[in-house]
Amino acid sequence: MRFVFKRSYDADIKLFKHRPQALWYLALFIFVLALPWLVDEFFLGEATNVLIWAIAGMGLMLLVGHAGQASLGHAAFMAVGCYTNIIMIERGVPFLISFPLSGIIAGFVGVLVALPVLRLHGIYLAIATLAVSVLSDDFIVILEPWTGGVTGLVAPNIDIFGLEIDRYGTPVEFYFLTLLVTLAVLVGYRNLLRAPLGRAFTALRDSEISAQAMGVNIRRTKAIAFGISCGVTGLAGGLLGYYATAFNNETFNLVLSIQLLLMIVIGGLGSIHGAFFGAIVIGFLPQFIAITRDGISGVLGLGSVTIPGIESGVFAVILISFILFEPLGIYGRWIKIRTYFELFPFYRKNMFKRQKSFLKTERMR
């Protein structure tokens, strides 16, 4: 059993709750720093992929998990980040400017898109943002002179003061670049959550009416949530462009939007951890499915058969199982396991009996 004694208000303000926790994160940090020397190039590429998912996941988590606003359109903002970055690069803007700027542009586009739909809630908001995802495809095709239309664009090597970074040529550098962006987003996100704005987001999620009665400007706070969320997702989009090396209107389709949402639900809504857990699942699932498939056909002597649609099928099964059996996601399960050991032997089964209802509609009185 562990007791945490708090001796000052800073105990609740600090980034880490207590020393053991800080040590765990330090160990994790050292692990991710050492990863390039621990695994081969293929796996490092997969780890980079997971980090990109995690960045996008953090972006969406802020909006859905913390501010309580649904979005089925986030692939569109990944597209904005990706395309604006490469378009600027092609016109001679250095990466160190174009990359952050592409995030900011994606954020502004997010605010613009959000403004007309701010009054919508839950499923209606989801449908409106779904439309954004569908429309983005057409927009990319229409804007052919810049976006290359259906042919798409090819991402050139990243150039930071002469340091060339290329996903295949220099996977280690690309991994560290992605890691750096991940950490920057992570720290900013954590900071927001312990500051007034982060609390305003969760207030919005839990009760708009009393958030308002506490002086939270609903429209503005929602717009800011959309802006930050889309901006961060745009950064992930920029990195995804380099990761995929070539992309077109199909890269950022509706399926990607849905996968993003699945990721944070599976990971656990309402926590940054959830974005990372979800990213690990989504990032490794295709490999996992491929390996199991090969294993099964190997055992049955079927040769290498491919079953079309198997990936989406497995996704669907996983998602439905999570919603039915673990609505708090992987992070929720983790908390339960941890609490079990921390409180051993005093854990009670109904300790976590509190329902989560993020997409509830507005109530009055």
Nearest distance, CB of residue 190 and another protein, angstroms: 8
Nearest distance, CB of residue 244 and another protein, angstroms: 29
Structure tokens at 262: 């699945």
Nearest distance, CB of residue 4 and another protein, angstroms: 10
Identify which of residues 112 and 150 has a Cβ nearer to another protein in the complex: 112
Nearest distance, CB of residue 120 and another protein, angstroms: 19
Q: Assess contact for 53 and 263: CB atoms under 8 A.
A: yes
Structure tokens at 288: 């996992």
Cα separation, 362 vs 350, whole angstroms:
28
Nearest distance, CB of residue 346 and another protein, angstroms: 16
Identify which of residues 47 and 62 has a Cβ nearer to another protein in the complex: 62
Sequence-ordered list of residues with C-beta below 8 angstroms from that of 140, at least 6 positions apart, any chain? 79, 83, 147, 149, 248, 249, 252
Q: Assess contact for 328 and 268: CB atoms under 8 A.
A: yes
Identify which of residues 156 and 198 has a Cβ nearer to another protein in the complex: 198
Nearest distance, CB of residue 217 and another protein, angstroms: 5
Please list the alpha-helical segments (H only) found in the chain: 10-13, 19-38, 41-61, 74-90, 95-117, 122-142, 144-147, 171-193, 196-206, 208-213, 218-244, 254-267, 272-300, 310-325, 329-343
Whether the bond into 116 is cis, omega within 30 of 0:
no
Cα separation, 223 vs 260, whole angstroms:
20
Cα separation, 255 vs 71, whole angstroms:
13
Nearest distance, CB of residue 143 and another protein, angstroms: 30
Identify which of residues 191 and 287 has a Cβ nearer to another protein in the complex: 191
Nearest distance, CB of residue 8 and another protein, angstroms: 9
Identify which of residues 128 and 236 has a Cβ nearer to another protein in the complex: 236
Q: Which of 141, 159, 172 is nearest to 86 (CA)?
A: 159
Identify which of residues 47 and 275 has a Cβ nearer to another protein in the complex: 275
Question: Which residues of this protein are in contact with another protein, per CB under 8 A?
Answer: 9-10, 12-13, 188, 191-192, 194-200, 202-203, 205-207, 209-218, 224, 228, 270, 353-358, 363-365
Identify which of residues 110 and 241 has a Cβ nearer to another protein in the complex: 110
Identify which of residues 13 and 27 has a Cβ nearer to another protein in the complex: 13
Question: Strands 163-165, 158-160: parallel, antiparallel or unpaired by DSSP?
Answer: antiparallel
Q: Assess contact for 157 and 165: CB atoms under 8 A.
A: yes
